[in-house]
Each structure stands twice: as structure tokens, then as C-alpha cells.
Copies of this chain bind each other. A is one copy, B any other.
Amino acid sequence: MKRAQVFRLSMAHPGDLSALEALISGGTVRAADVVAIIGKTEGNGGVNDFTRGYFTQTLMALLSAHLGKPASQLIREIPCILSGGTEGVMSPHYSVFCISEEASATRQYSSALAIGAAFAPVATKDVGRRAQVESVATAVRQAIANAGIVKLEDVHFVQVKCPCVTVARASAAIAAGTPPRTTDPNRSMAFARAAGAFGVALALDEIKADSFNDDSLLADFTIQSPRASISSGVEVESNEVIVLGNSPAWGGDLKIAHRPMTDALDIGGIVEVFADLGIVAAPQVSARDASRVACVLVKCEPDRRGEVRGHRHTMLDDTDINAQRHIRGAVAGLVAGVVGDGRIFVSGGAEHQGPDGGGLIAVIASQNRDIA
């Protein structure tokens, strides 16, 4: 029986993987069991955030040394999802997702955290178009199957990392007679995130195939998935998909839940996702229950319309601080206050990922109430 484990580890700087090294050296983690990493590094989260590359390089060198495979191969096999920017009370950390096969495992809970992954290539000409949406949807369905999840409602979080259009890729595509939707890299990242969210929504039957077209992306914000968490970057060439859900076929004590967040002040959604896992936040998760929490994943977005609940915010017009840094800091302050811990993944760029102006929260926690 497969068993999913999540190790949430702190880092002293973006090149510090010593905590994982210690777990591998000490025998707690088998390097071969590592299937994905989701982490928060202390950069700015923008185009010139090199903390993600630094971390990834260090991680792959570490795993390469233990697995005897070249880092250049591992980087295409193990999704490493990093969000730069630990604004405010966030603490730099990374969650290591592992799958182990335990022949002798005894089932303890009716269902447990299940993990599936899949990859799907996407051509530059397809970025931000229906072809990318369908490519993502196909990969999500495959990852769900890989995870052994039968019911779509048991899927709670789908992380997708999408390729975007770079200047070089755009030139090549134009030369080939297949121009991309946009040649602006930043714009293409937003389109790619939108396509990723549509793809997740399509795979999860949240939208129908005929309910949207290319013009809907970044325009019709009624279309969204509260289970889609999408990032986009120049460093990937395939859509990389990780599905997290619950399945009776898996062992272990972890379980995942999710909730949409209607806006940046939706403390209700935060409290409810903990309640879904049997954890009370009144107003804060107790220290005992907090020790059961393995991972907190949040997507958020500065409201495009310039207001939060009818009052003007200033995030979008700030030349000094990027709007995504503003919203991450604010939402992280709220979520960390409820859970009592700054080791939370809060990522911006949440177009079509949960309600417009809001986003989503997913939490993985142990079902074992005696662990603390």
C-alpha cells in the first residue's frame, strides 16, 4: 500500500537544504521517495527572483548525489514548485512530498492523502489558448488516475507549472509561421496561468468544454477553479501537474481539504478548511493541533477592481512595492494568525484560481489526534 508523507522543513537561506540532507542521511527520508517539492523562498517572486533557481540547483545536486542520476534528468522528473516572497510573517520553508510503498502497512483511516503527477508538453503557439487548456486537462486526468483517486470530489489541490513564452521562443514560433498569443513574457505568464486554471476546471468537471473560448482567458473571471494552483515560468517546457487528494487506496495518516476564499478578508474560508480536517480555530488553532498541520497552501490576488469590500486598496498603483508582494503579505498575515505558524505557502497570480479577487486555501494535516 502506498503512503504519502509530507515533511515541512525550514531553510536558513535559499541554498540551504541541510534539513532535507539530515533527514536523508538519518534515514527518515529515502531520496528515491521524493516526488515533489513545494516551497516558499525569500526572493521577490518576480522575473528577477533567482532564489527559486538557487534552491532548485541545490536541491537537484543533493538528490543527484543520493540517487546517482544527473541533476539535468531529475529536474524533469521531480516538480519543484517555488513561490518567491516571504513577505511579513511568512517563514522560508519547503514541503517535501514523498511516496513510499509499505507492504506491511495497516490501514488506519478510511482514506488518506494520495499524490499523482503527470507531464504534458505544450508548444509555444499553444500557450494561453485552448490547446494548452486541453493539454493541462489531459495531464490532470492522468495524474488523478496515477494517484488512484476515483471520485473527482476527492481531488483537493492541483498544482500546475506551465511553460510561458520567452522572447526566444516567440521569435522561433513567429519564424515557424505559428505566432504565439502574445510576445510579452509577463503577459504570456498570466495567459499560461489562466490556461492552467481552465485546464484544471475542465478536468474536474467544474466547467464544460463548450463553455469557454480563447477570449475567456483573463477576461471571464466567473470561470474559475477553487482547486487550481498555477504557476508559470521560463524554466519549464512541459505542463507539470501534481494532484493532491484523498483516497481509500492509500495508507498513512494525512488528509487534505480545501476551500475557496471569496476575498482577501475571508477568514471564514480559512477556519472552515481547518474544520474540514477536524481542527478548531477559535480564533486560533491550538499548538497541539498546529503540530498536526503538515502543509498550508494558499493562492491569492490583489483585487483587480481596486477595492476590497467597498474600500479602495492601493496595491495596484504602487510603484515601490509590487502588488503581488502586497497581497501575499496581507493574506499570509491572516492565515498565519489563524494557524499560529508562519510556515505557509502563499502564492499570488491567482487568476481564475478561486473567486475573483480572492483565491483558495488547502491544508494537509494528520488525522492522528495524538501525535502532538
Contacts and interface: CB of A to CB of B under 8 A. Distances in A.
Stoichiometry, as copies per complex, reads 4
Contact of A333 (B309, B330, B342): B330
Interface in A1-34: 10, 12-15
Nearest to A340: B265
Contacts of A311: 10, 91, 93, 341-343
A336 interface: yes
A313 B90 contact: yes
A267 interface: yes
A267 B333 CA distance: 10
B50 A14 contact: yes
Contact of A265 (B15, B47, B342): B342
A248 interface: no
A319 interface: yes
| Secondary structure call for the A interface | loop
B54 A321 contact: no
Contacts of A86: 313-314
5 contacts: A45-B319, A46-B319, A265-B284, A309-B342, A313-B342
Interface of A: 10, 12-15, 42-51, 53-54, 57-58, 61, 86-93, 167, 264-268, 270-271, 281-284, 306, 308-309, 311-315, 317-322, 325-327, 329-334, 336-338, 340-343
Given A46-B318, A267-B283, A282-B283, 18 more contacts: A10-B311, A42-B314, A44-B319, A87-B321, A88-B326, A92-B312, A92-B314, A264-B333, A267-B284, A267-B337, A268-B284, A281-B283, A282-B282, A311-B342, A329-B329, A331-B333, A333-B337, A334-B336
